[in-house]
Structure 1
Amino acid sequence: MSWQIRGEYMETCNCAYLCPCIFTNLTARPTEGECKAAVAMRIDAGEKDGTDLSGTAFMMMIMSPGPMADGDMTVGLIIDDAASAAQVQAVTEIASGQAGGPMAALAPLVGTFAGIERRPVRLEGEGMSRRATAGELVEQSCTGVAGGARPEEPLHIGNTAHFANDRLALARNGQSRFDAFGIRWDDASGDRNGHFAPFAWAG
């Protein structure tokens, strides 16, 4: 059966701003040798197989030992602990690429699926700021990089191969603290990479 979801996305990663994955279509080596990222997704509306997914949030924890295009990535999934069993199943199928859609293209690059954790997952913000948490496992925030013509709006990069949206706001991290599935990072320098955007997926 077909499915569709839409909502808001944000992430930070340990690459120095601007992450080279974005402008090399995943072929560049991360600036720190390996990439660690927390990708937060909040579904504002949508359903799969008759299961309403509105209000469900989740995070994908990603670790790549080198260029993402080379594969062997580790991915773990954190799903909001308020989600029902049917919602957990639907989100897992979507996020893993089993249900098709944008994540299906990334699935062949995943070497290890690290499992699923349940925590309160939140994604909030407006304007230039975004913040996402997953219980004690993840706390991250970012601020958009001001544009020149309209400094109240972030710079954007378009026509990307990113799975969330092909047009992303450019941002720098505020707090980035990860400790999930063996993926650990803690940085508040403001020099690391971030993005945010609306998303609309279907399969």
Structure 2
Amino acid sequence: MNIKILCHLQRNPDPLTYNLISLRQDDPDTLSAPQSWKIEGDYFEACNCDVVCPCVFMGDPDRGECDVTVAWHIQKGNFGNTRLDGLNVVAVFHAPGNMFTGPKWKAALYLDERANKDQADALVKIYSGQAGGFFGVAAGFIGDMAGVRSVPIKFEADGRKRSLQIPSAMDVAIEGIASGEGQNKETTIENVPMTVAPGFPAVVAKSVKHSYSDHGMKWDNSGKNGFYSKFAYSP
């Protein structure tokens, strides 16, 4: 599935709490001035579709709707002079139908609690789409932004294994599927219509566990589809 978010977020008095105030792509107030930024690192996702998820081919979800968790570990990144190295970001999505044709999705965003004020602001601007680039080109996919929170995020990558934990909300682990050429080679797909990491082959994986409960969304989709790869985004 393709993670593309554009929303307008306004800071609350709480420095790490945000409120959605607009989702309109054509509202000039939702777009900030161009910024110099770039982030790169490792990403993985898990959903409730069977392996391989048909959504990446713009097909209907296997069960009529797709519940997706996506996690990014930023190995190297900056937003202007603000460094973003080592930070994690997580997004969840509930798509009540075909992810491409609609209906629109419900989404929630989680920021690494280790981020300081400038870093948190930068992550919101990037992942909300305000800073342009990959996240700023498809606002129409999101119809309901449930919230943005600063939380502890544990992201791990070890060989063909990826895992993620957010206390009291999320527990995800996936493992890449070995290719027919041996256990040291991964099964991959590339050049698909919908992808989280354009330009990188996605390793096909299967979830060992995938549970989530927050923002009125709840699921346990263990044993289902997953993907992982490197990523790189810029305006």
Where on the TM-score scale, by shorter chain, does this alignment land: which range?
Answer: over 0.9
Which of the residues 37, 44, 47 maps onto 2:78?
Answer: 47
Tell me how far 1:119 sits from its aligned partner.
1.3
Q: 1:33, 1:197 → 2: CA distance?
A: 26
| Distance in 2 separating the partners of 1:197 and 1:106 | 21
- CA drift of 1:67 comes to 0.6
Aligned counterparts, 1:20-35, within 5 A: 20-22=54-56, 24=57, 27-35=58-66
The amino acid that maps onto 1:102 is F
Deviation at 1:39, TM superposition (A): 0.3
Of 2, 18, 22, the residue aligned with 2:52 is 18
Question: What TM-score, normalized to structure 1?
Answer: 0.92
- C-alpha contact 1:144 1:155 (8 A) present in aligned 2: yes
3-state SS of 1:86 partner: helix
Q: Which runs of 5+ in 1 are unaligned?
A: none
Is 2:196 the counterpart of 1:163? Answer: yes
SS of residue matched to 1:102: helix
Tell me, in whole angstroms, the C-alpha distance in 2 between the residues paired with 1:115 and 1:70.
24
Q: How does 1:77-96 map to 2 (within 5 A)?
A: 77-96=109-128
Specify the alignment match of 1:183 in structure 2: 217
Q: Which runs of 5+ in 2 are unaligned?
A: 1-34
Q: Which whole-Å CA distance do the structure 1 matches of 2:150 and 2:162 have between them?
A: 22
Q: Is the 8 A contact 1:63 1:74 kept in 2?
A: yes
Whole-Å Cα distance in 1 between the matches of residues 125 and 101 of structure 2? 23
Q: What's the offset of the Cα at 1:171?
A: 0.2
The alpha carbon displacement at 1:50 in A equals 1.4
Matched residue of 2:191: which SS? coil
Q: 1:182 Cα shift?
A: 1.9
SS across alignment from 1:153? strand
Q: 1:107 aligns with which of 117, 139, 154?
A: 139
Find the counterpart in structure 2 of residue 152 from structure 1: 184
Q: Aligned to 1:130, what secondary structure does the other structure show?
A: strand
Q: For residue 113 of structure 1, report the CA deviation from its aligned partner.
A: 1.1
Q: Determine if the alignment matches structure 1 residue 122 to structure 2 residue 154.
A: yes
In the alignment, is the contact (CA less than 8 A) between 2:47 and 2:221 conserved in 1?
no
Aligned residues: 198
- Please state whether the residue corresponding to 1:31 is helix, strand or coil: coil
- Whether 2:102 is the aligned partner of 1:68: answer no
Q: 1:80 to 1:147 in 2, by over 3 A?
A: same
CA RMSD of aligned residues (A): 1.3
Contact 1:165 1:198 in 2 (8 A): no
Query: How far is the alpha carbon of 1:187 from its aligned partner?
Result: 3.3
Does the CA contact (< 8 Å) of 1:6 and 1:200 recur in 2?
yes
SS at match of 1:97: coil
